[in-house]
A and B are shown apart, each in its own frame.
Chain A
Amino acid sequence: ETGVTQSPTHLIKTRGQQVTLRCSSQSGHNTVSWYQQALGQGPQFIFQYYREEENGRGNFPPRFSGLQFPNYSSELNVNALELDDSALYLCASSLGPGGANYGYTFGSGTRLTVV
């Protein structure tokens, strides 16, 4: 059973709205990475947070933003939702920003549908 918890599991939003997705990292993990997985595609890196600061970012517009809290849980916020934002959003936590060596563990994701 995965130690990374994401909420909610499913969400339906209207175009133009804003959404917040949440991720609780595995115990002892201080690094959280977020991915977007569109239907039939592999996950795409959005950004990573390490010790409450953004530590790297993929090719996503500024309306995708995030936070990491002192307990290392994290939020992904998306403003001005577009239909193409419909996807499975995955969170992965690790012991540090040192890569898969540090036990990269995925959560079960949040399925976001924008209508």
Chain B
Amino acid sequence: EDKVVQSPLSLVVHEGDTVTLNCSYEVTNFRSLLWYKQEKKAPTFLFMLTSSGIEKKSGRLSSILDKKELFSILNITATQTGDSAVYLCAVEIDGRDDKIIFGKGTRLHILP
């Protein structure tokens, strides 16, 4: 069965800290790995990763994929209270549809 596992499930840090969120996966036909930020309802897209070892970066956020070890990390440096959210990792399955398997998410809370 395809699965995506995220850790930790929740994390509380102080503003300015750096955090690393983990995502491991086991799927039959991997197409891409996706990271989303979910603050209230609609998940918003952060990164799509398809190749191993190539870091994607957007401001204070960065992510990298290891297709051999089947995991990805999402780093957030110099955290701010606005980074408080649930971060979802998802794997897109290569097939007829766009089926995306999500992890349970990491709930990140940044203390001022």
Contacts of A98 in B (CB 8 A): 98
Q: Are A106 and B96 in contact (CB under 8 A)?
A: no
Interface size on B, residues (CB 8 A): 27
**B40 close to chain A: CB less than 8 A:** yes
Instruction: Kindly supply a per-residue 1/0 record for chain A positions 29-66, scoring 1 wherever the CB is within 8 Å of any chain B CB and 0 otherwise.
Output: 00101010000111111001010000111100000000
Alpha-carbon distance between A107 and B42 when the two chains are bound, in angstroms: 5
Please report which residues of chain B, range 84-100, place their CB below 8 angstroms from some CB of chain A when the two chains form the complex: 88, 90, 92, 95-100
Contacts of B4 in A (CB 8 A): 42
Which of the candidate stretches B13-21, B51-59, B66-74, B102-110 sits at the interface with the other chain? B102-110
Q: Are B92 and A99 in contact (CB under 8 A)?
A: yes
**B27 close to chain A: CB less than 8 A:** no
Q: Are B43 and A48 in contact (CB under 8 A)?
A: no
Task: For residue B33, give the distance in angstroms from its CB to the closest CB of chain A.
Answer: 10
Contacts of B90 in A (CB 8 A): 42
- 10 further A-B contacts with Cβ under 8 Å, apart from A4-B42, A97-B98, are A31-B98, A35-B102, A45-B100, A48-B97, A56-B99, A94-B98, A97-B96, A99-B32, A107-B42, A109-B41
